[in-house]
Structure formats: structure tokens, C-alpha cells
Amino acid sequence: MKVKQYVNFIDGEWIASESGKFKQNTNPVNGEVLGEVTQSTKADVNQAVAAAKRAQREWRNVPAPERADVLYKVAFLLKERKEELAQILTREMGKVIAEARGEVQEAIDMAYYMAGEGRRLFGDTVPSELRNKFAMSIRVPVGVAGLITPWNFPIAIAAWKSLPALVSGNAVVWKPASETPILAGEFVKIYEEAGLPKGLINLVHGSGSVVGNAMVDHPDIDLISFTGSNEVGKMINARAGGMLKRTSLEMGGKNAVTVLEDADLDLAVDGIVWSAFGTSGQRCTACSRIIVHESVKEELEKKLIEKIGELKLGDGLDESVHVGPVINRSSLEKIHGYVQVGKKEGAELLCGGEIVTKDGLNKGSFYAPTLFTDVQSDMRIAQEEIFGPVASIIPVKSLEEAIEVNNSVEFGLSSSIFTANVNRAFQAMRDLDTGIVYINAGTTGAEIHLPFGGTKGTGNGHRDSGVASLDVYTEWKSVYVDYSGKIQKAQIDNY
């Protein structure tokens, strides 16, 4: 059977790269070949950027409510195809179907929300300090937005970035993760069908080292919005910094759930299991540390082991499966490597700790949900992002110590605390040094109308989603209209 080919979308045309090279895309559940994907070159990026630049000149003058009409259609189409897209998502990257549906819903929500921004895109009107003078600030598009997105949330994160970029009048050049090209193509088809004028979204498949670098280096890409590893994010920032190019970076996490002695332990267990092992631990917001008051540690361990024992591994398309595969073999080996490091460092393995090959799972990349205990906060497994189903219990003696441990890592994406005490909850809200804080919930579950991102090594101060994301895709312009008929000097004539 002939393998299906997936190509770029440049200036409104579906077209293979001039390289003639293709790379296979496989299902992490069983290695099934899903298709082969065009591998682009710098020349393809140049074409995409030229098309984007041309199209943006007109798009910036289309009234934002009219731009938003396209986004509403995107929302309708996403909604119509929700199940089909979710199935592709599961086959391409392995997350279980219920989570895949949730992720497509996140893209739908974002499309409605950003379509609404077409009638807002608020600036401020403020009084002028001078008579007969009007003052306001307005948002204007930046130009061409370069989007580099990850495989773990292949449509939600692409939606977080492309929708605000487009509604605020930019054009987009998008390099999706190499692992999730098919879903990326489907998303672009929806933009096409929704009537987005040609050239405004350009899809360029290929490697980070070729396509990603060409985008970062291109003088006509005005901003880069990236979600992915710290290593790549730092490299992008350094390259773009030399050109004074705007970058919005969302990178790693080492998120913790804190469980105090007054917590509802069953609730905490549900929150931890969902956050640590959902998406096989491959969320930026995954819980990988469990900071627990020593007086409830044993009971929590017991309950966690029991719950973890109920998790069913397998093909995410099977509705009864809780945990799918990890993305690929090399990720599997990295995760297993960290487990060996944890053992060597002296952490106690409570469950898991192995590559799963039984029950026909040997064709895929499956890792057993893994729990360590008596982990010290400075151990590598408690400091470095593992990006797999591995969580470490760190015992503490007080809320203050818990907060100190929570904040002791280089990342600052998400944190959570389980407590029944409102004073402690508020103290935690104030002192947990992360961009997202949950009270009596796990570390995941961000909603699209709030800012998403983190402090310290997680990012560079920008946010995805919410109104805050408009700050990535717009420039502020301050406008003064003097209708006095004379030249009035601010700060001088009035004082």
C-alpha cells in the first residue's frame, strides 16, 4: 500500500518541499506508519515568509471584527470535526482519547474566545493633561509571527498561538513538531476552509535545526513564539536576541503538588494521579514532585500505590485505557535513565520503574507509572524535567518548608496545594513562585481565558492564552490628537 504523503501549505498551495525528502511518521502505540512528511529547507521557509509578508499588508487593514468572522468559522469547523481530530491526535502522539477530545475542545474554546477579541482588542483612552487634546493607546499587529509548537499539545498550543496572532492582524509561519504533522495539516485545512485569505497561515514541516533556525534567523519574521525544551528555547533566545527579535518562550516545568496534614487525602490522590500520569506525564504542567507533610506521608503512599495499580496502559483509542505510550523510543530510554539515576541517588522506588512489554505492548513505547519516595529536594530526579510518568515524594515538616522545596527548582510553571485551611491556602497562593497555582486541584487543567506560562526558567515573561497573549502579537501605539489649534507642550505649558 502506498504511504500517504503530508506536505507544506505555502501561499494557499499544498506543496512538497523542494528537497524531495520525506520522513516517516509513526504511531507510538505500535510503530504503525501513519504517513511520510515533507522535509523542508531554508528556501521553503523563505517562500513561506515572503507569502506571509505580502498577505499581512492587506490583512492588517481588514477590520478586526471581520478577521474574527474567520475565527468563528474555525471554531465551528473544529467543533464539527472534534471526534475525527481527537482520533488523529491519539494515533499520532498517543494520549488517551478522552484527553485528546479535551485538547481539541481547548482549541475550540480558544477560537471562540479569540474571535470575541475581534470586537475588543482593547486599548485605553485616558484624559490628556492638556486642554483640547485626546489621548489613547491602540494595539497594532507586529507583522509576521513565527510559531514553533510541541507534540504534547499539538492542537491546543497551536491554537493558543495562531488565533491571537491572526485576530490581531498578523500573518503566520508555523513549524509544528515533527511528531505531529498530520494534525497540523488538518488544523491548517480548517483555516483554509474557514476562508482565511491565502498567505496568512503557512505550514512548513521539517526539523528544528533547518526549518526552526531558518525561521529564527529570517529578518522578515518579526516574532517567534515557541513552546518546547529549555535547551532549544535558550538557543532561540540567543539567536533572536542579536536581531532584537521578540521571542515568547514557554519551556520546562518541575511542578509539585503539596499535601498538608489537613488535606482531604483521597482528593489529593486523585489530583496527583491525574496530574502525574495523565498524558503519560508528558505535560509541561505534569506533577513530578509530591511534597507531603511527614505525618500523612505513609497513608498517602499507600493510597497512591493502590490508585496507580488501577491504571490501565494501552492504546489510547481504547476508551478503558488510562495511560498511553510515551512519544518514542528515545524518550522511553531517557525516562528509564532517570529512574536509574533516582535509585543510585538513594530514592526508594515504590512502584513502576520499568519499560512495559507485556500484553502486546512491546511494539510501542510504554513506561510503567513510577513513584519514588524519600526523595531529597536536591536529587536530580527532584530537580530536572523528566517528561514521563515518574513522580517523587518529598517529605517535609511544615508549610514553610513545602513552599521552600516547591520554589527550589529552576522552573516555575505550575504548583498545587491540598489543604482545608483557608489561611494556609492564601499563604501558598502568595508564596508559591509559579505562573499557575491550584488550590485543592492537581497541577494541570489550565483554562484558555487565563494567562498560561511560568516564572524563572520556564519562560521569558510572556504568556500564552488569555488576553495576556495579545501582548505577544501586538505592539502598543500611543496616539495623541490635539484639537486646540496650537502647539501645546506637554509637561511645560500646563505647569
* CB nearer to ligand UN1: pick between 446 and 472: 446
Cβ 104 vs Cβ 154: under 8 Å: no
* CB nearer to ligand UN1: pick between 169 and 466: 466
* CB nearer to ligand UN1: pick between 28 and 395: 28
DSSP structure class, residue 452: B
Q: Enumerate the β-bridge partners of residue 248.
A: 225
The least distance separating ligand UN1 from the CB of residue 179, rounded to whole angstroms, comes to: 14
Active-site residue flag, 319 = no
Q: How far is CA 161 from the centre of its chain?
A: 9
The least distance separating ligand UN1 from the CB of residue 249, rounded to whole angstroms, comes to: 13
* CB nearer to ligand UN1: pick between 163 and 350: 163
- Residue in 365, 292, 296 with CA at minimum distance from that of residue 325: 365
Question: Could you give the 3-state DSSP secondary structure of residue 308?
Answer: helix
The least distance separating ligand UN1 from the CB of residue 320, rounded to whole angstroms, comes to: 22
Phi, psi of 480 (to 5 degrees): -115, 130
The least distance separating ligand UN1 from the CB of residue 417, rounded to whole angstroms, comes to: 17
Cα–Cα dist 43/197, whole Å: 22
Which residue is catalytic, options 250, 310, 345, 384?
Answer: 250
* CB nearer to ligand UN1: pick between 30 and 229: 229
Helix, strand, coil percentages in the chain from 3-state DSSP, rounded to 5: 40, 25, 40
- Residue 250's alpha-carbon distances to 35, 202, 257, 280, 304, in angstroms, are 29, 22, 20, 20, 30
* CB nearer to ligand UN1: pick between 236 and 287: 287
Q: Please give the torsion angle defined by the CA atoms of residues 40, 146, 34 and 13, in that order, rounded to the nearest 10 degrees.
A: -70
Question: CB 463: neighbour CB atoms within 10 A?
Answer: 21
The least distance separating ligand UN1 from the CB of residue 53, rounded to whole angstroms, comes to: 30
- Pull the grid cell for residue 333: 530510554
- Pull the grid cell for residue 370: 513510577
The least distance separating ligand UN1 from the CB of residue 344, rounded to whole angstroms, comes to: 29
What radius of gyration do the chain's Cα atoms show?
Answer: 24
Q: Enumerate the β-bridge partners of residue 146.
A: 173, 224
Which residues sit at the interface with ligand UN1, rule CB under 6 A? Answer: 106, 152-153, 156, 283-285, 444-446
Residues classed as catalytic: 250
